[in-house]
Amino acid sequence: MRTSENSIDPMERDHIVLTRMMSDAERLCRSDDPFMLGQYRHLRGRVAALIEMTRPPKTSRNAP
Amino acid sequence: MSSTAHDTRHSAQPFAPSAHVVQLLSLSREELEGLQLARLKRQLARLRQSSAYYRVRMERARIDPDAIGSLADFFAAFPTSTKVEFLADQNDHPPFGERLSIPREEVALVNMTGGTSGQGQEIYGRSQRDIHTQGYLHALPWFLAGLRPGHIAFNCVPAGGLTTGGWGPGEGLRIAGATAFHVGGTLSTDAKIDLMLRVGDVNFIYASTNYLHRLTDALLRRGLEPKRAFPGMRTLFIAAEGYPIEWAGRIAELWGCTLQEGYGSTQCAGFGASTFDDGVVDRNGARALMHLFEWETLFEVLDPVTMRPVKSGETGELVVTNLAIEGSPVVRFRTGDCVRFISSRDTRSGRSVHAIECGTVGRFDDMMKIRGNNVWPSAVDAAVFAHGEIAEYIGKVFTDAEGKTECEVCIALTEQAASKLPPDCAHLLGSVQNAIKERTNVLMKVSVVPRNELPEFTYKARRWKDLRQQGYRL
């Protein structure tokens, strides 16, 4: 099946996947388990950094 | 132990490119500057909301991040910052200062500069995201230099502590997917060699320039030719100290692989430039170039007096702006580092990024980099002249016969002290040594000489000599 996701370049595809992961990571960071919270923030930080790195350079020129 | 790494090394393309890196490096100069401007505006808009230090600077300079139309607008309007200003900010708003642009409880790593300037230590709060970015800014030059997942890497730089150089390499090697042995500061040179021999298929070494020299010298003294002892070695990566170009050629010959170099700092949150896979010596036997990671950090090379950009081929002060760091980012920070700038038009590499020359990064002040510590003569002056018995001193840093960096301080006594103290001055020498160590973190040999053996300084005292490069003989 051809989707909009597999028709784009690998970096942009990864960026879309990571953006989806970010919303899950944000949800985990609403945990009220204080022991897990730090670990979820660690995960969110990793995803956030990767989102920044994979932001397609040519389109990010116009990103907000 | 070595089989997995060996299989990985030979089954994967040794220099398989990364689509991520290829995409960044395929940007034209115009596209790259467009990317920089977009990231800069995002950073400034965020800092206007989150950092009182930068908000005040923007208000005073009447800068609206949304209205910045070009990098030239930014360079013309945004004021530079110095170490002194950062220290004042920290003093007024301890511990991080109002530069900190994330909530304090989101600081997951604290990095500090060495503190041996005698001025104080800059403090940087890093977020979870920044920790990954710092890892990326170490892994990136190493990937470009040939490090691949599964490789065995020896990190000879002391790990941990409070510095970026203590934490970044560990994070970088994890991100790179390497099997890392963090041997810096924990094992003697001989013990490191023993471990390397047991591991066998070592592919990558990260070390200071001086330590790579010392390690190589120690191998040769044991009758081991590096390229035969470690035939799987792909990359030697150095940073932090200059070196003679002949030495670089000899190292590459002895190890049978290319020597690569990076330029990094706490303010860059890791490496800001590297030789990629070019090596530190070009085809003509001249010094090669370190290309700048300009999509992560905005670099300017300015005349420190006029604050105008230098021309390609000239030296100037490196001024840096973080485009991606979110906790304690620097914006137009004057590093004090003296670099030779080469425009992308003149690099002959075909890359759109600018570059700086290998092996010649220095300081505009008189700081010396000694065993990873930033040592200012003024800090040693303060330690020595805190002792009223001392009339004058001179110091030298050199490479000893075993390839180790050593420091020697020769003091001369005042006439009054010379008549009272015992000839060996043991107590005084110990006190001076401790005082220097406390201020610089470097243990120096201290001896006493007659006053007439030391020069009389009639203008600016030039007490220190750096003779290390003369000792780089293999």
> Which of the 8 DSSP states describes residue B285?
S
CB atoms within 10 A of CB B36: 21
Spell out which residues of chain A touch residue B133, defining contact as CB-CB under 8 Å.
49, 52-53
Averaged pLDDT, B90-101? 98
Residue B411, H or E segment = strand B405-413
Which pLDDT score is estimated for B164? 93
Alpha-carbon separation of residue B280 from B262, B272, B371 (angstroms): 10, 16, 21
- Which residues of chain A does B42 touch, with a Cβ-Cβ cutoff of 8 Å? 63-64
A42 touches chain B (CB under 8 A): yes
Q: Is A49 close to B20, i.e. CB distance below 8 A?
A: no
Residues B285-311: pLDDT tens digits?
A: 999 999 999 999 999 999 988 999 999
Does the CB of A34 have a partner CB in chain B at under 8 Å?
A: no
**Which of A55-59, B5-9, B123-127, B423-427 is predicted least confidently?**
B5-9
* Per-residue pLDDT at A44: 97
Express each pLDDT in B6-39 by its tens digit.
443 333 344 568 888 888 999 999 999 999 999 9
Taking contacts as CB-CB distances below 8 angstroms, the residues of chain B near A42 are 108, 128
Percent of chain B with pLDDT over 90: 69
| Residue-level pLDDT at A58 | 73
Q: Does B132 touch chain A (CB under 8 A)?
A: yes
pTM: 0.83
Most confident of the following: A48-52, B114-118, B206-210, B448-452? A48-52
Asked whether residue B241 carries a pLDDT value surpassing 90, the answer given is: no
Q: How far is A60 from chain B (nearest CA, A)?
A: 7
Say which of A11, A45, A57 has its CB closest to residue B127: A45
Q: Which residue has the higher pLDDT, B37 or B467?
A: B37
Mutate to test the interface with B, among A37, A46, A52 (most CBs of B within 10 A): A52
Structure tokens at A28: 């985990």
**Would you state the pLDDT for residue B457?**
67
Residue of B nearest to A64 (CA): B42
Q: How confident is the model at residue B376 (pLDDT cuts 50, 70, 90)?
A: confident
Task: Count CB-CB contacts under 10 A for residue B413.
Answer: 21
Give the contacts of A29 (CB within 8 A, at least 6 positions apart): A37, A40, A41, A44
Q: Is the pLDDT of residue B143 over 90?
A: yes
* Range in B91-100, B153-162, B254-263, B372-381 the model is least confident about: B372-381
Average pLDDT, chain B: 90
Write out the DSSP string of B340-382: EEE-GGGS-S--SS-EEETT--EESS--EEETTEEE-HHHHHH
CB under 8 A, 24+ apart: contacts of B421-430: B421/B389, B424/B448, B428/B387, B428/B389, B428/B390
For the ranges A27-36, B206-215, B375-384, the lowest mean pLDDT is seen at B375-384
Length of chain B as a residue count: 474
Q: What is the pLDDT of residues B407-446, one digit of tens each?
A: 999 999 988 888 888 888 899 999 999 999 988 889 999 9
Each residue's pLDDT tens digit, B384-399:
888 888 888 999 999 8
Confidence of residue B60 (pLDDT cuts 50, 70, 90): very high
Does the predicted interface ipTM exceed a cut of 0.90?
A: no
Is the peptide bond preceding residue B158 cis, with omega within 30 degrees of 0?
no
Residue B1: pLDDT over 60: no
**What are the chain B neighbours of A45 within 8 Å (beta carbons)?**
108, 127-132
pLDDT band (50, 70, 90) for residue A62:
very low
Give yes or no for A39 touching B (CB within 8 A): no
Give dist(CA B143, CA B18) in Å, integer: 9
